[in-house]
Amino acid sequence: MALASGTSSIDQTDTNSFKDTSASVLFDLIRGLAALIVLFGHWRNLVFVDYPSVATHRLILALPYALTSAGHQAVVIFFVLSGYLISGSVFRSFTRNRWTWIDYLTHRLVRLWVVLIPGLLLCLLWDSAGLALHLAPALYSGHLREGFIGNIPARLTPRVFFGNLFFLQNLLVPVFGSDGPLWSLANEFWYYLLFPLGLVALRSQTPTFQRLACGVLFLATAWFLRHDILLLFPIWLAGTVLALVPPQRLRPRTRVIAAVIYAPLPFVFAKLHGLPAMLSDYLFGVATSLFLWIVLSATGPADPKLLFTRFSRSIAKFSYTLYVVHLPFALFLTTLIMGERRWTPDAAHVVMGLAIAAAVLVYAWLIALTTEFHTDRVRHWIEARVRR
């Protein structure tokens, strides 16, 4: 999710002018819908059989199955959004001579940890309950669905817990328990470090010693991340380019046409199995950044009373929490109801499946009420003590 910037990992800290524009509302809508794509991708995989196993109504069901196939592309969207919002915040801090590492890291870590820490504990709770009740032993051990969940008992150790707490998943440890979406939080965290390190190293206004120190740390960090995490960094930087390019004056009609063209692309790229995965991600990242550049032309003020504005703000408001906490709970709930089997998507089971999805959404919202919604309050409390 990743969504913590998530989106990622994604927030709007210090975006004083942008947050009041129609573009901000559209960005919130995109972020919220991306989180829902991730949720419904996992939901489909847990609840319903794979499409090749569908025997009837295949034509009707082709679209719903396609719409639940683009979870990875949704994370690419998070990365581009994050690159734009976070790098824009960093640029403004330097422009206003207000940049400090303490403030920056406090903002970023509070934003990440205020949801991640409860998310890890809840994952431990639900996975332990599922294992104790022997709900779906083959699924919980990673022997079903091509390792969709993984070997949960091996991933519930203190070492893996603290590795995920400090964003070392897929570097030194696997993701914790069944919470597969946590992989992208490591990417987000390390991009948060790489970007300002590289920027400080390149700024001529910065004292030479600080530039050298940041340059060395940038290279050391890049070497540490030299595999998958570093390879996806250019996608995050595509959002940074958006923060540097002034928005254009475009008509609403142009944005509508762009949205119509872009909307199917996540699902198209999800099915382009002939392309190398990294090339596919790069191409989709470029397409996403171009689309967001067009969206940024909506510079007019947002109307907070509009239903569209309220809806967009609402689904974005808990998107990070939804991203982090949904899978362990969804796994427990579905195995409690269904065991290891999955349903064929007939009318009755679709209704039951949607009820499960609704329960997961309500669960995530309730968790957000005690976590994500209080991010600013927690950050202000910490900052007041750090600055003493």
Residue 373, CA distances (Å) to 183, 321, 363, 370 in order: 23, 10, 14, 7
Look up tokens 């689309």; give the residue: 291
Amino acid 15: pLDDT:
44
Q: Is the pLDDT of residue 149 over 50?
A: yes
Reported as a pLDDT band with limits 50, 70 and 90, residue 384 is confident
Q: Is the pLDDT of residue 31 over 60?
A: yes
Of 3 and 54, the one with more pLDDT: 54
Amino acid 109: pLDDT:
96
Question: What percent of the chain shows pLDDT beyond 70?
Answer: 95
Reported as a pLDDT band with limits 50, 70 and 90, residue 273 is confident
Count Cβ atoms within 10 A of the Cβ of residue 370 and give its class: 0-12 exposed, 13-18 middle, 19 or more buried. Answer: exposed
Answer left, alpha or beta for residue 250, where phi above 0 means left and psi between -120 and 50 means alpha: beta
Q: Is 301 helix (H, G, I), strand (E, B) or coil?
A: strand
C-alpha 2: how far from chain center: 3
Whole-angstrom distance, CA of residue 103 vs CA of residue 122: 29
Answer left, alpha or beta for residue 269, where phi above 0 means left and psi between -120 and 50 means alpha: alpha
* Average pLDDT of every residue of the chain: 92
Amino acid 147: pLDDT:
67
By the 8 A CB rule, do 4 and 185 touch? yes
Amino acid 11: pLDDT:
45
Compute the average pLDDT of residues 51-77.
93
Amino acid 5: pLDDT:
55
Compute the average pLDDT of residues 90-119.
94
Alpha helices in the chain (DSSP H): 22-47, 58-67, 71-95, 101-132, 137-140, 158-165, 183-202, 208-224, 228-231, 233-244, 252-262, 265-270, 277-295, 307-317, 319-338, 347-370, 375-386
Question: What percent of the chain shows pLDDT beyond 90?
Answer: 84
Q: How many CB atoms lie within 10 A of CB 4?
A: 31
By the 8 A CB rule, do 229 and 171 touch? yes
Amino acid 3: pLDDT:
61
Amino acid 129: pLDDT:
97
Compute the average pLDDT of residues 52-61.
90
| Per-residue tokens: 343 | 């349903």
Q: Is the pLDDT of residue 12 over 70?
A: no
Amino acid 131: pLDDT:
96
Reported as a pLDDT band with limits 50, 70 and 90, residue 383 is confident
Compute the average pLDDT of residues 346-363.
96
Whole-angstrom distance, CA of residue 93 vs CA of residue 293: 22
Whole-angstrom distance, CA of residue 216 vs CA of residue 39: 39
pLDDT in tens, 215-233: 999 999 999 999 889 999 9
Q: Is the pLDDT of residue 274 over 90?
A: no
Compute the average pLDDT of residues 38-56.
94
Amino acid 169: pLDDT:
96
Compute the average pLDDT of residues 82-91.
95
Give the DSSP letter string of 11-43.
--TT-TTGGGBHHHHHHHHHHHHHHHHHHHHHH
Reported as a pLDDT band with limits 50, 70 and 90, residue 79 is very high
By the 8 A CB rule, do 281 and 234 touch? no
Amino acid 282: pLDDT:
97
pLDDT in tens, 304-327: 999 999 999 999 999 999 999 999
Q: Is the pLDDT of residue 7 over 60?
A: no
Compute the average pLDDT of residues 23-28.
96
Compute the average pLDDT of residues 251-263.
95
Amino acid 146: pLDDT:
67
Q: Is the pLDDT of residue 235 over 70?
A: yes
